[in-house]
Amino acid sequence: MPQYWLMKIEPSECSIDDLARRPHQTVPWTGVRNHQARNFMRDAMRVGDGVLYYHSSCAEPGVAGLAEVASTAYPDATQFDPASPYHDPRSSPDAPRWLNVDVRLVRKTRLLPLRELRRQPALADMLLLRPGSRLSITPVTPAEWQAVQALLETPAP
């Protein structure tokens, strides 16, 4: 049974439109430097899991599209690159600290803004909506996934 995830990314780094233009509409999810988010990729994500592609740190944050996990976890190359903002000098190719997965576009959707998500009783317990929630990757329950899918099929209010 597939699992579901919400993965946050700044549109200036890789918007849903950028993802659509990439070869095979796939992007490595690099730069995760939180142990819990890394552990989700390493221990729980499987190829084919559903992804809510979420634009964050922008004028209008929200779900911008649907994607899927397209690879198992593997070492994030940015940790070894001194020119990368995600460089980690304590990591080495023999003992990588950070991992990433590849994410593939399923489809671009209408933007489902955070403010609209907050108004939905079915999403009241969604990790994204909890005070202080800052993780870049969070699990989404099957019920939350279905509620978001239904919202995406309706016109914006």
What share of the chain in percent tops pLDDT 70? 100
Domains of the chain: 4-152 (3.10.590.10)
| Position 157 pLDDT exceeds 80 | no
Of 71, 74, 64, 50, the closest CA to residue 9 belongs to 64
Which pLDDT score, from 0 to 100, does residue 43 have?
Answer: 98
pTM above 0.85, yes or no: yes
pLDDT digits (tens, 9 = 90+) for 39-59: 999 999 999 999 999 999 999
Rounded Cα gap, residues 135 and 124, in angstroms? 17
pLDDT digits (tens, 9 = 90+) for 71-108: 999 999 999 999 999 999 999 999 999 999 999 999 99
Q: CB of 27 within 8 A of CB of 17?
A: no
